[in-house]
Amino acid sequence: MEVPKSKKELAILLSRVRGYTSPKAELEQYVTPSEIASRLIWAAYERGRIVGKNVCDLGAGTGILIIGAMLLGARRGYAVEKDPDAIEDLKRNLSAFGLERRVEIVEADVSDVELRVDTVVMNPPYGVQRKGASLPFLIKATEIGECVYMIVPRGLLEEKRAILEDRGFGIEFVEEDWMELPPTYPWHDSRMYRFRVCLVGFAK
Ligand code: SAH
């Protein structure tokens, strides 16, 4: 597959990533919209964080972030996910992009991962269902990576920044966007669920 030449081209490719077959609310399983995924991965790419690098996606879900990184030239990918149903969706998407041999699936809780990579990408649970759900993701990212590109609701950026700064990571990129999610769950009554997010890159 040819390397996408723009953020737009990458977003179009990523729009082919299929969603969860059986989404689980307690794990906050939402697929990052392709435009936001593309914008985040492109920002990492522009800062030399993707090409030839080993990249790990913590809480990979259906794989949109790691697929984006691989399409832009990451060397090797690791997709960490603990839900076996999501892993089936992930496998199908990796195969559809011909990436099944370049991305290793790690079926585990993020806390149990032992890897060293250059770059971590993630859209961790925001802690809506279970407060503190994102903390293991932040801690693991700083343990295994040189940098982490992630998505956070805008109102939580300062809290996350403080945690990462304590661990020696500072912001190298930040941009705002709207996250729009379709109503995946019965209690999402509105047509689209819309909130402000920050796309942010932290590095050592
Ligand atoms: N990265 C994907 C999915 C985000 S949703 C995307 O951007 O579209 C968060 C994912 O993390 C879900 O698939 C959920 O099953 C997984 N997850 C939640 N807690 C986890 C944990 N402790 N360890 C591993 N995976 C976890």
Sheet with 170-181: list strands edge to edge: 103-107, 76-81, 54-58, 119-122, 147-153, 193-203, 170-181
Residues within a 6 A CB radius of ligand 1: 27-32, 57, 59-62, 64-65, 80-83, 86, 109-110, 123, 125, 136
Q: Is the pLDDT of residue 100 over 90?
A: yes
Closest Cα to atom 13, ligand 1: which residue? 61
Atom of ligand 1 nearest to the CA of 109: 23
37 assigned to some structural domain:
yes
14 assigned to some structural domain:
no
70 assigned to some structural domain:
yes
4 C-alpha to ligand 1 centroid (Å): 26
3 assigned to some structural domain:
no
80 assigned to some structural domain:
yes
* Rounded CA Rg of the chain: 15
**Per-residue model confidence as pLDDT tens digits over 68-98:** 999 999 999 999 999 999 999 999 999 999 9
3-state class of 150 per DSSP?
Answer: strand
Q: Is the pLDDT of residue 145 over 90?
A: yes
109 assigned to some structural domain:
yes
Cβ distance 137 to 110 under 8 Å? yes
19 assigned to some structural domain:
no
Number of domains the chain contains: 1
62 C-alpha to ligand 1 centroid (Å): 9
**Per-residue model confidence as pLDDT tens digits over 3-38:** 999 999 999 999 999 999 988 888 888 899 999 999
69 assigned to some structural domain:
yes
- CATH number for the domain spanning 191: value is 3.40.50.150
Q: Range of 127's domain?
A: 29-203
